[in-house]
Amino acid sequence: MNQVGVGPAQTDPQPRGLAATRAVLPNGVTVIAKQTRTTPAVTLHANVQAGTVFDPAGSEGIAHFVSRTIDRGSERYLSDQIAEQLDSRGVTLSASVSRHLLSLICTCLVEDFEDVLGLLAEIVMRPRFPAAEVDNRRGEIITLIRQGEDSPAVVAVEALLAMLYGPGHPYGRRVRGTVESVERIDSQALRAFHAAHCGPSVLSLAVVGDIEPDRAIERVHSTFDGWEAKAVSRAEVPSVPATTERRRRVIPMMNKSQTDIAYGFVTIAHSDPAYHAYWLMNNILGQYSLGGRLGDSIREQQGMAYYVFSSLDANLMPGPLIIRAGVSPANVERAVASIDAELAKLVEQGPTEQEVAESQRYLIGSMPRTLETNVGVASFLQMVEFFGLGLDYDVRVPDLLRAVTRDQVQAAARRAVDPGKAAVVVAGPYDGPLP
Amino acid sequence: MSLGHTPGSASSVREEVLDNGLRVLIQSVHTAPLATVWCWYGVGSKDEIPGLTGVSHWVEHMNFKGTTNIPREQIKGIIEKYGGYWNAYTWIDQTAYTETATRHALDHMLFIEAERMSRCLYDPSDCESERTVIVSELQGGENDPEQVLDQELTATSFRAHGYRHPTIGWLSDLQTMTRDDLYGYYRRFYVPNNATLVIVGDVDGDDAMRSVVSRFDQVEPGEVGRRTATREPEQLGERSVTVRKEGTTAYLKVGFHAPAAADRDFYPLLVLDAVLTGAKGLNAWASFRMPPPQRSTRLYRALVNAGLASAVSGALLPTEEPYLYTISMTATDGTPLTRLEEAVLRELEAVRANGITPDELRKAKNQLRARLVFENDSITNIAHQLGFFATIASWQMYSTQVPRIEAVTLDEVGLAASERLRPARRTVGRFEPIR
């Protein structure tokens, strides 16, 4: 056990695998440390459960706004001082937001670990959101929203999510909000959001690199120790009623060259017992090799698209499976019909035994690549932490995938991807009908 | 061992040249049970003649469509069954193919690359099917105003050199090129004496070399012949291009003729770029996906902190012949491009007149030193860098990056600024949206 005297720690009992060390500090901060010796560098990956699900009605985009301003001044440092400390060490702090998480990620040289950890803690614990910085970043965010409105890909996916979940649902809203909602958000609102949703009990920090786990945890402990435990609100995400019919929407953008198709379904939560069957089903459908069955049909055989793929985002609540394709306007109807046909075939006939075996072998065999870099390991450990999969998940995942049968993959397809219940959005130089 | 301490150092790279001219570079790195292969061809879009623009890239696509000994239907999954990843790219100086998979797949990866070098099929129906895929790829690029502006700026900056046309090609050439054009180009340039094969990973050098010999020894060398070699005449006056198109956001891009990677002032200009927009490093495959540390840079402060731009980025890429140094900006919503243009040109004139400070030089070097560690965090990245530099100059340039950067002086940066950023050598590109 890599117990460091700051709370219960657990270590992967198996001799192989990542065997990361996890500790919960007295104030509730979770630390996951893994030593690697690939480069003389350390990746810090902080997740705070303060994602867009907490955006209140009327202030859509506030979590995203926090992600773009949290590093622009703290109680101890001005924005320029933070910038100087990061830049002088060659460190880029990447702040982003998803439905549930505010993430701050950076990589630094080992020699800079303690300084950068201290700076990260200051940013996470004590941001000030100065008004001048907030006004400036608001202009940037509005520009980003306008850029998105000019992108058929962004427009199609945002419209699809709104159609699947309803525009008021936390999974259906635009991450960046709207120009109107962003214009209403000020420093005070950002500070209030931080106070309500950011606290030690919802922070997990992964430290991956050339540093001993005990030392990493001890340093995180001393750095975050001053952050007092407090109650923070937990996300409440309403369920989504089952769909019984197909929905369609065309958003003409006649100044563009290519048309984007976003076609999708609401599927399952990550905790669903069928998760690994869904993972394989998605791989067979729209991932394996050059885009799975969809890539075979639409790109390789029919030459209709440069890209076509599917992605599965099983989340705390049932997340979407989205099929994306970029096609010439002349091919929209044919491409949508081809997606329908591939889904119908998968639902009715299921995958072949060979396809299941191939995807199993691929997903299992790709684990060493996923875990080759510090950034990859940190991201994997945070995924494991967020979904509560256990520190030995990397060791268990091959058996979990191997245990899935062909029938279970077909059952997942039957449950998830019935084309009669699909939502289909097309954005681009197209204003015709949709199948 | 640690990759970051000695990536690509001359003492750890084994170099051999087969009788047929194939250059082989091998480096053993035992940090993960993986091996990577990159096969590089000294042919890119700069080698294309009018009527055949885009042929290098189309040929790259065709080289995934089956060979004499790998039937078309066996392509799918050929690397995935080893948990592997494979891909390729074409750019102005080179075409590169890569596989990364378990170390046990090394001989299999070499088999694929040997087949690709001389036995691709170019079935006429596959050529036709791929024509529409590539046109779709081109149309996807046209959806993005920044890509449109980049293409216009490049074509305006170059009048004579092959760097002037986009790698994807001009549409009319893509519509008229024939199967024989593609196949002829493939046979001419895909010969061992025009290729570099790089292997990095958990491999034994002798074993790897034996595999290389057994797979490639029988591949016949060929005559590449005379290439187009027009040099770009010196630009005598400022040029500009203004694109007015439907859209939501205004973009500005300023380009200057830059040194080639092997030219004396390449590294001084690289340092200058770090001072202006933040250090990117030198890995075209990996580094440009990670934003640079830039919040304290001159242009970020003058443009983004001033509210004129929502983003600014600089790009100095290592190339075989003199290409461009570009600075790209997104105007914030409502900011006229003239204001942004005045502000950026004022900053560039200031650095031309006064150079940079010792503190800026030190910080830029620190940033670059860190970025060179971060961008060599995987065997795929190390192998990429060895092959990339072998293609444009020599692989030893990769192993001497750190001392070359360390050796840059204030005077050299000042001279690079005053000479390279001369107004007469610049081209200004504007994208003005019509709402």
On whether both A254 and A205 belong to a single domain, the answer is: no
What is the rounded distance in angstroms from the CA atom of residue A275 to the CA atom of residue A312? 10
Residues A217 and A260 in one domain: no
Q: Is residue A1 part of a domain?
A: no
- Please report the pLDDT score of residue A131 as a whole number: 98
Question: Can you give the CATH number for the domain in which A289 is found?
Answer: 3.30.830.10
Q: Which of A191, A224, A257 is the last residue of a domain?
A: A224
For residues A277 and A129, state if they share a domain.
no
Same domain, yes or no: A204 and A257: no
Structural domain contains residue A231: no
The whole-number average pLDDT for the span A166-170 is: 89
Domain count, chain A: 2
Mean per-residue pLDDT, B30-59: 97
Percent residues over pLDDT 70 in chain A: 96
Nearest C-alpha neighbor of A322 from the set A356, A347, A286, A298: A286
- Give the ranges where B257-376 is alpha helix by DSSP (H): 266-277, 298-299, 337-354, 358-374
- On chain A, the residues whose CB falls within 8 A of the CB of B145 are 150
**Count of other CB atoms within 10 angstroms of residue A135:** 12
The amino acid that residue B290 corresponds to is M
Residue of chain A whose Cα is closest to the Cα of B300: A83
- The two three-digit tokens of residue B258, written as one number: 């830059």
CA distance B258 to B266: 8
> Could you tell me the two tokens for B366?
């620190």
Please report whether residue A182 resides in a domain.
Answer: yes
Q: Is the pLDDT of residue A6 over 50?
A: no
Chain A residues whose beta carbon lies within 8 Å of the beta carbon of residue B2? 37-40, 210
The amino acid at residue B172 is S
Residue A185 placed within a domain: yes
> Which whole number is the average pLDDT over A282-292?
96
Ranking A2-16, A332-346, B213-227 by mean pLDDT, the lowest is A2-16
Whether B81 contacts chain A with CB within 8 A: yes
Same domain? A185 vs A273:
no
State which residues form the domain around A184. Answer: 9-224
Region A331-350 average pLDDT? 98
Residues in chain B: 435
Place of tokens 């102005």: B92
Taking each helix axis from N to C end, the angle separating A131-149 and A187-197, rounded to the nearest 10 degrees, works out to 90
Q: Is there a single domain that holds both residue A345 and residue A416?
A: yes
Which residues from A are below 8 Å from B80, CB to CB? Answer: 288-289, 358, 361-362, 365
Q: Confidence class of residue A105 from pLDDT cuts 50, 70 and 90?
A: very high
Output the pLDDT for position A45.
98
Q: In this structure, are A41 and A164 located in the same domain?
A: yes
Give per-residue pLDDT as tens, A379-414.
999 999 999 999 999 999 999 999 999 999 999 999
- Same-domain pairing of A318 and A209: no
Report the alpha-carbon distance of residue B434 to residue B11 in Å, rounded. Answer: 57
CB pairs A-B closer than 8 Å: 209
10 Å Cβ neighbour count for A353? 10
Which burial class, exposed, middle or buried, applies to A254 when counting CB atoms under 10 A from its CB (0-12, 13-18, 19+)?
exposed
Last residue of a domain, one of A224, A239, A272: A224
Q: Supply the pTM of this predicted model.
A: 0.94
Please report which helix (H) or strand (E) contains residue A247, including its range. strand A247-252
Helix orientation angle between A131-149 and A152-165, rounded to the nearest 10 degrees: 100
| Residue B291 contacts A where some CB pair is shorter than 8 Å | yes
Q: Which of A86, A90, A304 sits opposite B279 (nearest CB)?
A: A90
Contact A256 B143 (CB under 8 A): yes
Report how far residue B60's alpha carbon sits from residue A254's, in angstroms, rounded to the nearest whole number.
32
pLDDT 10s digits, A222-242: 999 999 998 888 888 898 888
Mean pLDDT of chain B: 95
Is the residue at A172 inside a domain?
yes
Q: What is the pLDDT of residue B1?
A: 33
Rounded average pLDDT over B268-276: 98
pLDDT at B8: 60
A201 shares its domain with A269? no
The pLDDT of residue B7 is above 70: no
* pLDDT tens-digit map of B321-360: 999 999 999 999 999 999 999 999 999 999 999 999 999 9
Residues A410, A287 share a domain: yes
| A352 pLDDT more than 70 | yes
Q: Which of B275, B374, B385, B434 to mutate to test the interface with A (most CBs of A within 10 A)?
A: B374
Q: Would an 8 Å CB–CB cutoff place B11 in contact with chain A?
A: no
CA distance linking residue B116 with residue B97, whole number of Å:
9
In a domain, A237, yes or no: no
Tokens at A154, concatenated: 């962004």
pLDDT of amino acid A409: 98
Q: Are residues A202 and A326 part of one domain? A: no
SS3 of residue B343 by DSSP = helix
Structure confidence by residue, pLDDT tens digits, B105-127: 999 999 999 999 999 999 999 99
Residue A11 has pLDDT above 70, yes or no: no
Q: How far apart are CA A93 and CA A66, in angstroms?
A: 14
Is B305 part of the contact surface with chain A (CB cutoff 8 Å)? yes
> Nearest CA to CA, how far is B122 from chain A (Å)?
14
Per the model's pLDDT, the better-predicted residue between B150 and A37 turns out to be B150
How far is A116 from A78, CA to CA, in rounded Å? Answer: 16
User: A344 in a domain, yes or no?
Assistant: yes
- Domain shared by A266 and A211, yes or no: no
What is each CA distance from B113 to B69, B95, B390, in whole angstroms? 12, 13, 18
Q: Is B130 on the interface with A (CB under 8 A)?
A: yes
Q: What domains can be seen in chain B, in order of their start residue? A: 3-216 (3.30.830.10), 239-434 (3.30.830.10)
Domain boundary among A224, A255, A288: A224
Question: Is the minimum CB–CB distance between B336 and chain A shorter than 8 Å?
Answer: no
H or E, element range at B317: none
Report yes or no on A70 lying in a domain.
yes
Query: Is the separation of the CB atoms in A205 and A31 below 8 Å?
Result: yes
- B82, B295, B332 member nearest A86 (Cβ): B295
